[in-house]
Amino acid sequence: MMPQQRGTSRKVRWGAVAVTAGALAITGCSAAGHSASSGSSASPGAKTSSGAGATAGASGSLTAAEAVKQAAAQAQKATSFAADMTVQTTGTADTTMSGTLKQQTEPSPLAVADFGTVSVQGQTLQGGLEEIVNSSGLYLKTPTLAKESGKPWVEFPASALSKVSGTSFGQLLQNGSNDPLLQAQMLASSTNVKKVGTATINGVPTTEYTGSYPISAGLAKLPLSNRSTIAAQLKAMGLTTENFTVWLDHQQQVRKVVSSAKGTKEQVSSTIVVTSVNQPVNVTVPPASQVTVAPVSELGGSGSGATSS
């Protein structure tokens, strides 16, 4: 069993973790990112994969609007991605995260993150964090929590997170407002996108585009099955307009995106570099002997200590 709470410091630690868990699992993994599209794998140094070694000339025959619409169509078909990213959120929960993220929507929702740099409410999480999110819940691994719990991993069960958020965790996981596969589709709503140049991203020639769109217009580009959940999350954050710069290869696959969104409650900026698309995401969930389960009372900063499995 965990030791009894030791006053304010214990509550602060768990409160910070709760903020991090919410930011990463529900509203912060890639809060303004559009980072995936369908097609072949895109490894960081690749010069010869499907389209990787070709020039960006094919994009020259498209208008900026056509290129972005094709990128959105590619993303609609994609089922997984891996990326290097840096995300900063200010407002209700101030967070800065930098690291890697792998995520898939099929055959079942899964996300695996390794953030070497994490700051929550001005406090640095020493050693960063690792994270696994699946339909069962969220697992976090940080040196700070390991010292507190005596075990490497802390689990936030889906049922507990659902109580905190007021929404089914499974629904949030599948329809998260920060799912880049969904967000990339919102790019097609931009009416002011323009070509600004070319660049090579990880050895791949790309064309650079910049633009913006109202969040409401972006939502209209999403499938009906996703739209209501996404709209509720973005409304809660108060986000209204998104600005983006995106780099597309000759197949209109997203290779990099820098984006920002400012609203009444939150401001989010991100830089995401795609390293692979449509590749399997594999992970082994930590065994019970390595996990401490955090009850819903801890997410609210009150209640008794966490439970060891």
Q: How far is CA 181 from CA 105, 174, 271, in A?
A: 9, 11, 15
First to last CA, the chain: 9
- For the segment 243-261, the average pLDDT, to the nearest whole number, is 91
Q: Is the pLDDT at 54 greater than 70, yes or no?
A: no
Among 88-92, 169-173, 208-212, 284-288, the least confident range: 169-173
Greater confidence, 229 or 202? 202
105-122: buried (b, 16+ CB within 10 Å) or exposed (e) per residue? Answer: beeebbbbbebeebbbee
Greater confidence, 159 or 126? 126
Q: How far is CA 251 from CA 38, 162, 209, 247, in A?
A: 9, 39, 14, 11
Distance CA(256)–CA(249), nearest Å, equals: 10
Q: Is the pLDDT at 40 greater than 60, yes or no?
A: no
Give the pLDDT confidence score for residue 308 in this predicted structure. 55
Q: Is the pLDDT at 163 greater than 80, yes or no?
A: no
Give the pLDDT confidence score for residue 166 in this predicted structure. 55
Q: How far is CA 99 from CA 5, 131, 154, 260, in A?
A: 31, 11, 20, 18
Count of helices and strands (H, E) across the chain: 9, 14
Strand partners, 92: none
Give the pLDDT confidence score for residue 291 in this predicted structure. 92
Greater confidence, 239 or 250? 250
Distance CA(60)–CA(52), nearest Å, equals: 16
Among 14-18, 140-144, 248-252, the least confident range: 14-18
pLDDT band for position 37 (cuts 50, 70, 90): very low
Q: Return the CATH number of 8-281+292-298, one of 3.40.50.150, 2.60.40.10, 2.50.20.20, 3.40.640.10.
A: 2.50.20.20
Q: Looking at 92-192, which runs of residues are DSSP E strands?
A: 95-104, 110-120, 123-124, 129-134, 137-141, 153-157
pTM: 0.75
pLDDT band for position 184 (cuts 50, 70, 90): confident
